[in-house]
Structures are given as C-alpha cells and as structure tokens.
Structure 1
Amino acid sequence: MLVFKHLFVTVLNKIYVCLGKKVISMFFKRMILLVIFITTVSYGQVVNVNGVVLSEDNKTLSNVEIGLVSSNGEYNTEVKSGVDGSYTFMNVPYGHYTIVYSYNNFSDFKTIEVSKANVYFELKVEGQHKVLDNIDIVIQNKKQQLERTGYAMNVISIDNAAYQSVQTNELLDRSAGVKIRQDGGLGSKVSYNINGLSGRSVRIFIDGVPAENFGSAFSINSIPPASIERIEVYKGVVPAYLSQDALGGAINIVLKQKRTSSLNVSGSYGSFNTNQYNVNGSYRADNGLTVNGTAFYNYSDNNYRVYGPMIRTSDAEGNITYLTKGAKRFNDAYESYGTQVNVGFTDVKWADKFFIGTVLSKGYKEQQHGSTMEKVYGDRHSRRNSEMIALNYDKKDFLVDGLQFKVDASYGNYTRQVIDTVGIMYDWSGKPTYDKDGNIIYHNGKAEVGDKQSMRKDLDKSFALRANLSYEFIKNNILHVNYFHNTFKRSVTDPKEHPVVQSLINTRDLQKDILSISYENISFNERLRTNLFYKNYNQKATSNEPERIDKDNYKINQSVITKKFDGYGLSLSYRVWDSFYLLTSYEKAIRMPAEEELFGNSSENLLSAILLEPEKSTNANIGFNAGPFRLGDHVLSVNATYFYRDTKDMIRLIPDDSRGEYAKYENLENVLSRGIDVELNYSFREKLMFNFTVSKFDVLFNTEFNKRGEPYPFYRTQIRNEPSLKLNANLSYTFKDLFKKGNSLNVYYNVYYVEEFHRNWKNVGGAGLDIIPAQYPNDIGAMYQLHNKKTTISFDAKNIFNQHIYDNFGLQKPGRAFYVKVTHSFFN
C-alpha cells in the first residue's frame, strides 16, 4: 500500500510542477493527501462471487461454462468450474445479476442478487437434456438502455473495430444521421454534421466533459478506437446532464475505464507512411485503488495524390500546365502523441469513482493549402501543446439514499503556434517557382499567407466545472440539477509583429454558465419514461484586438458581448411491447458561438467573427426502436427517426476571399432541416452480420426576402456545400475454429455512398457550376484472432477502387490505401 501511496504522490507532484502553483495550491495538495491516507482503511463495495456446480445426484462437475451478466449489461464475464466443481468471479460489484451456465447439451440460468451477505450460489445440472437455444432473459446492454430513453440517438459499440485499422471518425461516419466533414487525411480539420446541422452546433464530449477542455491534440482525431468503450450520438435534443449548448446534437466518447487489471498494446502501419500505436491499461487493488492510463502516437506523411483543375504548375514564362495524372501532397505531414492517466479509487464507501488525472499531448501539422486547393503552401506549419489536470468524483446515495452527486473539474494550458517565415512560392510540383532569371520567387512579405511573416502563438487557458445532483425522491421519480461553468482566456504573442502591437494587450476571453434542471418519471408499469428539462444560458465574450490606424500606430479595439437565453424541452419513450419502443423529443434549443468561431484560429486560416449571433432552433424527433427479434438462428433489429429543425441564425463556415486562403463563420438567417434516419441490423448464428444505415435530409435556406425586401434567389434551396443523402452498408462473416480450435477469422466489406452536392448555391452561378460528384468508396478487411483471445492481426484496404473522394468545398481525401495492425492483450 505504501508503494501505491508513493506512486500517487509522485504523479501529483509531477502534475503540480508541470502546470504550476496557480493550478493546485498547497492547501489543495494537502487535502488530497489527507483523503488518500483516510481511504487506505476503506474497503470496496465489491465481493467475490463463488459456488459449486452439482449434477442431479449431487456430484461435482468440472469444466462447466458459467457466465455472469449484470442487469444493466455493464458487467459480463465468463469462467469454468474447476476439478472440484467450484467457480469464482472476482471483484463483483453489488447488484442484480443473471448466471448462465451450460454443460454438454444442458443449459440453464438463474437470477441472483450480489451483496455482502449473499455471495455463494449452487448451480444444478439436471439429468434430462435441457437446451435453451434462446434464453429468455431481459438484460438490456448499455446500447439498448440508452437508445430507449426517448432521445433520438445511436450508440456505436467498438467491438471488432478496436482491432482494425480504422479511425474513430470512420466509425462515426457509418452511423445513421452522421456525416464527417474532413479536409484531408490523418490529422486534418474535421467537423461533424448531424441531420444537417454542423460545426459547433454539434458538441463533442469525452467522458461527458467538453472535448475542447482536453486541447486540440487530444481529440476524436487522435484517440484510437482501442481506447474507447462506446460512442453515444445524440441527434437534436441532448440530455441535460451533458450541460452544454448543443443545438444540433452531441457526440460523447466514453473511454475505457476498467475496474480490473488489463494491458493492451497495438500498432499499425500503412499507406502514406501512416504509423499508429496505442497502449492502454488499468489496475485495481483490493482496497479500491485504481489506475487507468492510455498513451498514443500517430504519424502520417499524408502524401496521397490529388486531382482536378486546381492541380497545376507554371513555368518562368507564366505558362500553366494542368497535371492530369495528379500530384502528390508534399507539405501535409501530421504527428501527435500524448497520454492520459487517472489515479484514484473506485467502489469504496466514500466514492463510487474518484480520480485525479492528467492529459499531456503534443501535435505537429503541416499545411498544404488554404480553404481550397488553389493556393499551395510548402513551408507553413503549426505546433500544438496541451497540458490538463482533471478531478472526477461520483457517488450514489450521497449523504442520503437516492441522492447521486457527480463533479468534473479541469484546468488546462493549451499552446498553438503558426510558423510562416520562409515565404517561397510553390506549385503542385512540390518545388519552388522561378522567374526568368532563375531566381526563386517569394510571396510579398515573405509569408505564404497574408502580407507579413508570422510566428503567432496563441496561449489558451481553460477552466471547466460541471456539477450534477440527481435525487430519486420517490421511486421512479428523479430530479436532476446540473451546473456548467467554463472560463476561456487567450493571449496572443508574435515576435514578427510590429513592436507597437507587441506592447499592446492582445487577449480574448470567453465565459459561459449553463444551469439545467430536469425531471424524470417512469410510470405505467415502467412502460412510459418522461423527461422534462429547462436550461438557462449566459455567455460573455471579450476581445481586445489591435487595430492599425496608420503605418506605425495601432490601437486596441475592444468588443464586449453578453448574451442570455432560456431553453426547454422534453423526451418520451413508450414501451409498446418488450422489443418495440416509440420515441419522441422536442426542444427549444440555444447554441452560443464558440471561442474558435468568435476569435478565429490562425493555424487553420480561420478569421475572427466577434459579432456572430447565437443559433436558435426548434428541434423535434419522432421514431421507434424495434428488436432484437429472434427467429431461430436469425436476429433482426431496426430503428428509424424523423427529424425537424427550424434554425435561426445558423452559424456556417464559408471561404472569405477569392484566393481561397481564409475562411470565417457567418450567420444564415433561417434554415429548415428535415429528414429521416434508418438503421437496420441483421445477424445469422452470430457469424454473418449485416448493418445498413441511410439518411435523407433537406437543409433548406428558408428566408424569402432580405432586409431591403428583395427576394433571395436561393430561397428554399439546399444550402451550399451540404449533401442531402448518404448511406452505409457493412457486411461481415466470422469463420470460427479456423486452422485451430478457438482461432477465428472475421472478414468484412463496407461501402459508403454520398449523393452529389453543390459547392455553391444551387441556382446561383449559371453554367460551369461546381458540383461535388457522387462518391461511393469501398473498403475490405480481415481480422484473425488466436485462440487465447490475446493476439489479433488485421488487414484493411480502404477505397479499393481508388475513387476521387471530395469533401468541404472540393477538398480531396486520400485514395486507395492499405494497412496492417497487430493487437495484443496481456490479460484476458
């Protein structure tokens, strides 16, 4: 125990030195250490469940397969009885469980309650052959529980994807209603579109905490699937406990936090010199001391070929040559690495979960071009650094029975620097351009972007606090109160700036407070689940930005903008029968402009837009969740949702200059979104799996006249740069006991389709209008797992027909690519 205390104190001191005295005061350190010493005598609320398996004549039976599953599906493990017929499940939390056991042609189950006084269970194998092909146990896994709460949502289970060479964003892109908008290859800018609403309208969370609090280097882009337990996708209405102004929906990445000992490593290599490595593990001692950690490394040259009319070169005479065979990207490398470590206690008397953790990460990204592929860069790049410390506490029956208290707090320092100091003019040959005399041509100001060199560094500091109280004051009646506070401060420095500018105060501040109250009721024999909620939003944005008066004189242009709004809504879930649920939700939603939208992002050529208005939307969903239905060896489930969004002042990203260098956000007056999502899942003998999703949605500009009373030419047309139809189909088959008993081979085929869409307004521009063509990349892969379930080897081929894949405003994504991945688990 002394070793663990020493380890904990050492980690705490490292974090303290790294983030500084302002983060953790000496008083705070001593209080934490006091808690550690007090809790060394605490005992966990977990027990070992054991028993014996007997035949009908009371003889012990060995090698009986026994499974233990919790009622909520979160605990699920298997053992076999020993030579004396005994079995043991280690570290089982208190609660209700089902034991499923089988021996030869016999199988049965029994429901149990695990508590301090109830840990021994005798299992009986009867003489007659009793086979339960479909054991009728009502056990909802976490996916089913969440998808039946009344919210329009999908839960993505990672499963085999953890062993494949796929990115987390690829898994999201296959989900119904979700469209990933990405500017290029690994590490490129990503935005998320749910049912036609995108950008920061869709909020990203990691374990329920806003992702921006982790820094840009630790994000969905960099977190490997192997570190993820599941992904929750909320479409439209978002539960109040997430405590954010998510108007278009939310994506919550739930990381693995096992309460048992585990250690997993993986490594993959593939096209474009892409390397990805990951280590994740956990440890839990008998007294509840728990350590969870993950580390990752990503690198890619991203030197895939691109094609099109913008891919060209020019000679000293100004003659332009179009590269019909395409050109390789040459300044687009990406590298990121980082670690997340949590140390604390789980399942002890004073806490269900208590963690102090840190996230440390770094990133490097070269920039190949601006908001379009017209102007190419050869030296411009950015560097990022993130340092964050976090505290998490969760306790059920806090002070009184039925009261749950949760708090998440974090403080982070995030540095982002853009380096543009060379200024050589390149073209798509990957080489500098020359004048008639053979001299290298430089951009004006010797910078590839703008009219002056830049080493701008954004120093961001963020503090976030989220607190939640949930009280079941009467059975099946729960009151939730959530409070979220976030303070964001940015200071800007640039040694290449004018000395006068360097002497001025150059800061951006954003403060946000959100209070939400919700009431949850379960009635009519637990058939109807109702959730009513109210949200109050407050935000204050302050910008102190230098403004040039003349050649050598500047002044500070200060803007202070305060906004206050209220929102409300409800969600309903009704169980018509055990495998069929009707779901509906409604919300008057508000979404405040985020820091990047207001203050810009120099590393991505994003300009500030401090005068942006908040988005306001009326969101409604109605749908059903049906299944799984079992018919012999066949299992089928299907869910569908119709959605409606009436959005005022939608915040959208647009190119801001004719050269395609810069972009900024704008408000669209009124946008109407409506459509349907459908997801179908089928399996046969748990070997053949088929998943199909389709999303059809219209995102229409819905303002007929401008402020001068003139009609808009694009009234009731699809907004620019927005597809309206996407589908995904995935087919896989598992060959069991291949080459050796226990070995398995899983092969899959995936096809993704996006209908063609217009880069600009559909009825503006006449002939030669830019159209992003329909695209349907096909992927195949295979995964071979050894009998010990510890080692897995996978092979993936992406975009096997080498189709040209385009996204935001015609930016091209990688072509055909191949990857190999090896995963090993040191504990089953």
Structure 2
Amino acid sequence: MKRIFFLISAFSSLALAACPITLVVKNIKNYNHDEVYVVINGEKKKISKQGTVDFAEVSDGLVKVSVLYQNKSVYNDTIHINCQAHQKYEIEISNANRIDEVYIRGKKKLEKLKETPLSVKIVDMQAVKSQANNIGEILNMATGVKLRTEGGVGSAFQVNLGGLQGKAVRIFRDGVPIEFYGHSFNPNVLSPNMLDRVDVYKGVMPISLASDALGGGINFISKPIQKDNLEISNEIASFSTYKSHLNAVFIGKKDSLFYIGTQASYVFSKNNYKILGEVIDTETANLKKVEAKRFHDDTEASYMEVYTGVRNKSWANDFRVGLIYSHFYKEIQNDLEMRKPYGEAFAKENNVTGYLQYKKMFFDSRLKVDLMTAFARYNNSFVDISRRRYNWLGEYTFSNENSVGEINKGNDLKMNYNMFHTRLNAAFRINNNHSLEFGNMYFYQRRKGSDPYGAVNVYGDDVLKTPAVYNKNIAALGLVSHWLDRKVETVLGVKNYFFSSKGYTTDKYNFAWDSDRSKNASGYMAGISYKPKNFILKLSYEKAVRLPDETEIFGDGILIKENLDLEPEKSDNVNVVLDYTSSNYKLNTSLNLFYRNVKNTIFMIPDNPYGRYQNYYDNRILGLEYEINYQPIKNLQTGFNFTYQDIRLKNLSGSEKIWEDARQPNIPYLFGNHYLRVNFSDILKMKDKVELYYNINYVHRFLLYPVPKNLEPGLFSKATIASSDLLIPNDGRLGMVDVGVGITYFLADPKLAINFSINNLTNERLYDNYNAQKPTRSYHLKLTYTIF
C-alpha cells in the first residue's frame, strides 16, 4: 500500500529516481518532540530530540511534506528533492504554530513549474482565500494580466494577456475548457475559496493542455484531496451583493481508498451602483449628463458540484466521477458602450455537466496516463419582447405598440446545446533526462433552438431549428529534456489543429441556407531554460494557431450573425524571461519581453443592425513586463509590477489604410499594480493573527477607437483635439487608479477568518471594456469558517 501511495505522490515528476534523505525540522524548542511527526508520501515518522528524521526512499522531484503536532497540522508545503545534489533538507516551523506562517529554506512550492521553459505566472489562491475579492480582481494584480469587464458582478469579461485578449486567451479548469462549468463558474463571480491556484501561461502553452490558444491561457487548479475538509464562507457587500461558498471533502481514515466531496456557491447582486448617463433635457431637448443608479442589472448565479472517487487501486491511481449543476440569471442593463439603457431584457442559463477522470501509472511508473471526459447540456434563453423604452433614470419614456424589443428587433430565443469534451494526456519517461509528452483534446458541440423573431430560411422556417454542429480536435506531441546536471531544460513540440462546422448562413436580408466546411492547420514550439544559482533564464517560441470557435462561426442567434468562411488566426510568439530569487527567498524580481506577429485577426465588424466576425487585419505586438516582490522582515511583504504593450494594426487596405500602424483600440497598453501586506501575531490571544493590506491598480488612458498614428497622443502628453474624445477616460486624466484596502483577523480556535475591505477607496470613476463604467466605492464583509 505504501508503495502505491508513493507512486501517486510522485506522478508530477518526470525524473523518478529515489534516494534516502534526512529532514531537519527547525524551531521546535516550543514543541514536545515526542508529539511531532513528519509525513512524506503517506509515511509517518516521529522526529528525534535533535529535530531530525530519516526517510529511506524519497522520489527525486517535488514531494509534499506535512508536520503534525498533537495530531494537528502545523506545516504543509512542497519541497524539491534532488538526489544528485544533496540528501539533507531543512524546514522551519513558526512560533505561532500556523501553517500560513511557515516558510521553507529550499525550493518553494511549485518551483518546478516556474523553472520550465514556459513563461508562467503562478497565483496562489489559498493565500488570499479569506479576502473579499473575486478571482478576477486577484488576477488583475498579477503581472501582465488584465481582466476586462463590462460592469459589476457577473458581467461579461475578457482576459488580456501578452497584448491579446478575448478568445485568443483560453481558460481552463483542471485542463477542461471553462465553458463546461457554466457562466456561474467564471472569474467575475467566483471566490478564491474555490481554487488552489491559477497558472497563467504567457505565450507557449504546455503540451498537456493541447490548446489552440493564440496568446496564452489560464488554468484554474482545484484543491488537492489530502484530508477531510469542511469550509464555509459568506460575504455581504454594497449594491445588495451576497456571496456564499462551500468546500467539503471527506476521506475518513488515513488509508481510505474512497473519497467524496462537493463544491457549491451562490452569488446575488443588484449591481445598482451609480454611473454617469445621458438623458434628454425636457427644456432644451438636448442630451445632458446625469448621475443615476443602474436599475436593471440583477445577477444570480448558483453552482454545485458533487464528486466521488477511489485511489490507490491496482487498476487506477485515481478514478473520479462528478456531476455539476449551474444556473445563471442576468438582467441586461445597457448596450456595449452604455449609450442605451434597457429595462426589461434578460438572459437565463441552466447547465448540467457530468465528467469522469482516470489516472494511472504503468511500467514501473515510467508511463503516466490522465484521461478526462465531460458531457454538458445547456438550456439558454434570451428574452427581449418589451414595447417600452427606458432612460437612465429608470423611467420608461414611451411605448412602441408596433415594435417589440429594446435591443434590436425583438428576441424570444431558446437554445439547447449538447457538448462533449475529452482530453488525453500521456507522459513517458525515456530515462532520467528525457521524456515524451502527448496531449489530445476533442470538442463537439451541437446547437439547436428557436426564436419567433429571428432569421428565417428561404422556406420561411426559423433557421435556429436547423442544427449547427461544430467539431474541434487538437493533438500535441513534445519532448522534454534535461542537460548539464539538470541546469538546462528544453522542450520541443508539434501540434495539429482540425475543425469542422455544419450549419447555415444568411445574407443581409435575413434569408438563410445550409453550409459546411472543415480546416486543418499545424504549429510547433520550442523552449529552453537555464538555471544558474538564483537565476532562471528562458527563451520560448511558438507558431500558434487559434481556430475560430462556435460563436464566431454560428453567431449567438441574437446580435451576432454567422460566418462559416472564417480562417484560423496564426501568430509567431516569442518570450524572453529573466528571473532572480535571492538565496533567502526574500527578494524576487522578473523581466519578461514578448513579441507577437498575428495574422488573420478575427474581429467583429458592424453589419447593421447586426455584427459579424471576419478576418480583418494583422497585429504586431511588442511588450515588456516587470515585477519585484520583497519581504524585508517576516511579517511584511510588498511589491509592484507594470506592463507595457505596443499593439499595432498592420496590413490594412482600402479606406482603412489610414489606420495602418495605429494602436489597437480598446486594449490598455500601460498598466501596473502595487501591494503591501503586514501581519501581526498573538494580538488578542495566542495564535491569533491580523493582516492589513492594500492594493493599488493603475490603468493608463487608452483609445476607444483607432486614431491615425500621427494624431495619437504621446504617452504622458496632453491629448489632442482629434483624440481627446476617443480616449478612456476622456475627462483629462492620464489614467485611472483603483485603491483597495482591507483587514483580516484570523482566529485560531475556532478557525475563523473575518475580513473587512473597501474597493475603489477613493471613489474614482473607473472605465473598462468599451468604456463600460465599473462600480463605485464598495464595502465588503466576509467570514470564512474552517470547521475541520
């Protein structure tokens, strides 16, 4: 049994040599050593009076280490075992006897991933799980990441990464496209309590994800199953916002092969913050600015996942099945640029997903196989049949008895989606220095619906009743190698991309006919990292391909028309990374330079009164990211980062030639963050802790629409007459500053965290995607209770 358990804990390492080690547990003078135990790979041993413990056989690579005192965990982290270098390792326990105050003298958690040739940023969600921020707000503090929103809680979002955004950046949860989890599982809704960490890949994507991301991707990583856990959090906030989250997993006895768990969340918000809107002045008949509350922007999101599985069986290291239910309700308040308010339109989504995951090690652990399969059923509706028209004061100004629909020509849309996804990963260790990796992802979607106000075919039938089918398959094969006593790591890979679509297409007169097509493409990647003492140097390149997705091809059945002739986007992606970490781990600084050469950019083109995606232009992107994090003393951490990205339109023709070499509109090109965290222990009673923090997010002004290069304002110069009205913000500010502050009190017994925070402390007017106004100052109170 111990042997099987050992293999599972070592599955993430490709170099599986083993050796004896001695672990030195420091700072145990305040503990009775007879009650201190160390657990590695399921093997539990008591420490000596000197604080040492020996293990006969530990795998080379990352291993989890736990320290128990009086059967309570006082240390839980990961260390890197290098059998060729040394066999003695040190860890240190804090005097406060709290897990989050423990640090390790050696390689920290997930250092292995950071040292790969890929440009990756790891965001620890457990470190901030007690804060009243959603995942999107936390990601916004990460270097080079900008999560764009169109309003408050539950609003649509896009991720900007390496100068590219929207569908060029793919989002996953444990390697599965996030679409399978429903709109209730998105970073603009979820609390960090739901995740262990987030891996942000900038440029080259790992073979295991088998992705068609053009500019990188984000992988949400769920909490590992290690022990019984029951955690509940509740939050109340401004704008009638309420959030509740539950995490539970039950294993029972330490040698139990069976586990069961659940995750659930409920989020509601009226999003009734104040904005500046335009209404007609009854005296002059001109438009005037008024401050008004959003009045039709309710969001309700429910998510529940139940899973069960077995581990350490002869036929599987881990076998899991799960079922997910998701419900999402969203009122539609305004158009994209907040020029037109709506008062009755809304959308609903119900989603059921079932999944199965199988993991197994073969051939004395030389072959690792990971298979994930999911099926989802979506039932969506969009209702816009009101005859009333509203202004920003919530008043309906007139009723049009001859026309339904506030947004367009009316919709009473019902759409059903069947989706299937399967992902196969395999890693084969050729020897201690070379491994083959294979990844394959297949995606299928079938869509069928109805809308009495929608488009019709030549026979007068509703075109949504014609099934629209989309298939996608991506296969990736790579070789990972280590050289020069593992100081150098290289990766080489190739990818094949395929998609097919079958549905209908329409003309500008709303008539439709059947159409289908398929397309193949290929790409490749290479990367190298070099790890001299305290430094990591990386260089990576990828010939990336992004296939047009189902919405771009078939539209959304509402305002976006279909285009079955779209070509894949392609890009040459280069990243150069220099990272330095001091020997005592108190200082870390990193510089990332990137280049993107994008062809066949897919862009939404107005086709009045609708929009249609087309291959429109090319992009050239140059950028840099820099960050520094410093911990001068044990209870204080600070740091800042900034990102600059120069995104230019290329190869335009005809009347658009005037925009040649202009900045890409609606994407921030200069932004950054600064944070400070201070914590104090034993405030009111022993083992309690208080943390004070603030975050500052800055976004430099950017263009809403393109401006010829010779007319665009300088980085810090005053805007010209030609460009001032096209800037975000357009009120004379150089940029926007969002300040958040908070305090968290951690009680040791009961294990309760109480957080109070204020977002947008200065109540500044903040604008985002297409000039959407973000929430004003808000107050948040969150309680996180860990029962066991």
Q: Which SS does the other structure have where 1:445 is aligned?
A: coil
Q: More displaced, 537-546 or 647-656?
A: 647-656
- The answer for the alignment partner of 2:556 in structure 1 is 601
Q: 1:319 aligns with which of 274, 278, 285?
A: 285
Write the letter of the residue equivalent to 2:663: Q
- Structure 2 length normalisation: TM-score? 0.85
Q: Does 1:804 align with 2:760?
A: no
Q: Does 1:567 align with 2:523?
A: yes
Q: 1:268 aligns with which of 228, 235, 250?
A: 235
Cα displacement (A) at 1:423: 2.3
Taking a change above 3 Å as real, the CA distance of residues 42 and 457 of structure 1, as seen in their structure-2 partners, is: farther
Q: Which SS does the other structure have where 2:139 is aligned?
A: helix
Q: Does 1:352 align with 2:317?
A: yes
CA–CA distance in 1 between the matches of 2:103 and 2:278? 61
- The answer for the alignment partner of 2:661 in structure 1 is 716
Q: Does 1:171 align with 2:138?
A: yes
Contact 2:205 2:216 in 1 (8 A): yes
Write the letter of the residue equivalent to 1:690: T
Write the letter of the residue equivalent to 1:231: V
Q: Which SS does the other structure have where 1:418 is aligned?
A: strand
Cα displacement (A) at 1:725: 0.4
- The answer for the alignment partner of 1:22 in structure 2 is none
Where does 1:575-614 land on structure 2 (aligned, <5 Å)?
575-577=531-533, 579-602=534-557, 605-614=559-568
- The answer for the alignment partner of 1:304 in structure 2 is 273
- The answer for the alignment partner of 1:415 in structure 2 is 379
Q: Does 1:513 align with 2:513?
A: no
Cα displacement (A) at 1:493: 1.3
Q: Which SS does the other structure have where 2:470 is aligned?
A: strand
- Structure 1 length normalisation: TM-score? 0.81
Q: 2:499 aligns with which of 490, 514, 539?
A: 539
Cα displacement (A) at 1:511: 0.4
Q: 1:488 aligns with which of 434, 445, 462?
A: 445
Taking a change above 3 Å as real, the CA distance of residues 471 and 376 of structure 1, as seen in their structure-2 partners, is: same
Cα displacement (A) at 1:321: 5.1
Q: More displaced, 424-433 or 594-603?
A: 594-603
Counting matched residue pairs gives: 723
Q: Which SS does the other structure have where 1:777 is aligned?
A: strand
Taking a change above 3 Å as real, the CA distance of residues 548 and 568 of structure 1, as seen in their structure-2 partners, is: closer
CA–CA distance in 2 between the matches of 1:480 and 1:333? 46
Write the letter of the residue equivalent to 1:460: Y
Cα displacement (A) at 1:618: 0.2
- The answer for the alignment partner of 1:501 in structure 2 is 461
- The answer for the alignment partner of 1:293 in structure 2 is 262
Write the letter of the residue equivalent to 1:486: F
CA–CA distance in 2 between the matches of 1:372 and 1:231? 31
Write the letter of the residue equivalent to 2:337: T
Q: More displaced, 777-786 or 471-480?
A: 471-480
Q: Which SS does the other structure have where 2:668 is aligned?
A: coil
Q: Could you report, residue by residue, the CA deviation over 1:635-680 in whole angstroms, capped at 9, with x for unpaired residues? A: 10111110000000122346665xxx86553434210011111121
Cα displacement (A) at 1:323: 3.5
Where does 1:57-456 land on structure 2 (aligned, <5 Å)?
62=32, 66=36, 68=38, 137-142=105-110, 144-285=111-252, 286-307=255-276, 310-313=277-280, 315=282, 319-320=285-286, 322-324=288-290, 326-396=291-361, 398-434=362-398, 441-442=399-400, 445-451=403-409, 453-456=410-413
Write the letter of the residue equivalent to 2:32: S
CA–CA distance in 1 between the matches of 2:641 and 2:109? 21
Cα displacement (A) at 1:433: 0.7
- The answer for the alignment partner of 2:672 in structure 1 is 727
Taking a change above 3 Å as real, the CA distance of residues 677 and 768 of structure 1, as seen in their structure-2 partners, is: closer
Taking a change above 3 Å as real, the CA distance of residues 490 and 205 of structure 1, as seen in their structure-2 partners, is: same
Q: Could you report, residue by residue, the CA deviation over 1:6-42 in whole angstroms, capped at 9, with x for unpaired residues? A: xxxxxxxxxxxxxxxxxxxxxxxxxxxxxxxxxxx99
Contact 1:697 1:724 in 2 (8 A): yes
Q: Which SS does the other structure have where 1:598 is aligned?
A: helix
CA–CA distance in 1 between the matches of 2:102 and 2:230? 34
Cα displacement (A) at 1:762: 1.8
Q: Which SS does the other structure have where 2:137 is aligned?
A: helix
Q: Could you report, residue by residue, the CA deviation over 1:428-485 in whole angstroms, capped at 9, with x for unpaired residues? A: 1101114xxxxxx22752211222x321011111111111121102222111122111
Let me know the Cα RMSD of the aligned residues: 3.7
Taking a change above 3 Å as real, the CA distance of residues 112 and 318 of structure 1, as seen in their structure-2 partners, is: closer
CA–CA distance in 2 between the matches of 1:306 and 1:80? 62
CA–CA distance in 1 between the matches of 2:524 and 2:274? 49
Taking a change above 3 Å as real, the CA distance of residues 504 and 387 of structure 1, as seen in their structure-2 partners, is: closer
Write the letter of the residue equivalent to 1:640: L
Contact 1:506 1:546 in 2 (8 A): no
CA–CA distance in 2 between the matches of 1:76 and 1:484? 33
Write the letter of the residue equivalent to 1:816: R
Write the letter of the residue equivalent to 2:261: N
- The answer for the alignment partner of 2:14 in structure 1 is none
Taking a change above 3 Å as real, the CA distance of residues 687 and 663 of structure 1, as seen in their structure-2 partners, is: farther
CA–CA distance in 1 between the matches of 2:567 and 2:642? 33
Write the letter of the residue equivalent to 1:232: D
Q: Which SS does the other structure have where 1:216 is aligned?
A: coil
Q: Could you report, residue by residue, the CA deviation over 1:718-756 in whole angstroms, capped at 9, with x for unpaired residues? A: 111122100001111001111111111101111111110
Q: Which SS does the other structure have where 1:485 is aligned?
A: strand
Q: Which SS does the other structure have where 1:801 is aligned?
A: coil
Q: Which SS does the other structure have where 1:253 is aligned?
A: strand
Taking a change above 3 Å as real, the CA distance of residues 698 and 67 of structure 1, as seen in their structure-2 partners, is: farther
Taking a change above 3 Å as real, the CA distance of residues 768 and 138 of structure 1, as seen in their structure-2 partners, is: closer
CA–CA distance in 1 between the matches of 2:153 and 2:532? 45
Taking a change above 3 Å as real, the CA distance of residues 742 and 383 of structure 1, as seen in their structure-2 partners, is: same
Q: Which SS does the other structure have where 1:241 is aligned?
A: helix
Contact 1:99 1:112 in 2 (8 A): no
Write the letter of the residue equivalent to 1:751: I
Q: Which SS does the other structure have where 1:259 is aligned?
A: coil
Q: 1:753 aligns with which of 681, 698, 708?
A: 698
Unaligned runs of 5+ in 2: 10-22, 82-90, 92-100, 712-720, 730-734
- The answer for the alignment partner of 1:477 in structure 2 is 434
CA–CA distance in 1 between the matches of 2:443 and 2:702? 38
Taking a change above 3 Å as real, the CA distance of residues 304 and 654 of structure 1, as seen in their structure-2 partners, is: farther
- The answer for the alignment partner of 1:33 in structure 2 is none
- The answer for the alignment partner of 1:525 in structure 2 is 485
Contact 2:163 2:623 in 1 (8 A): no
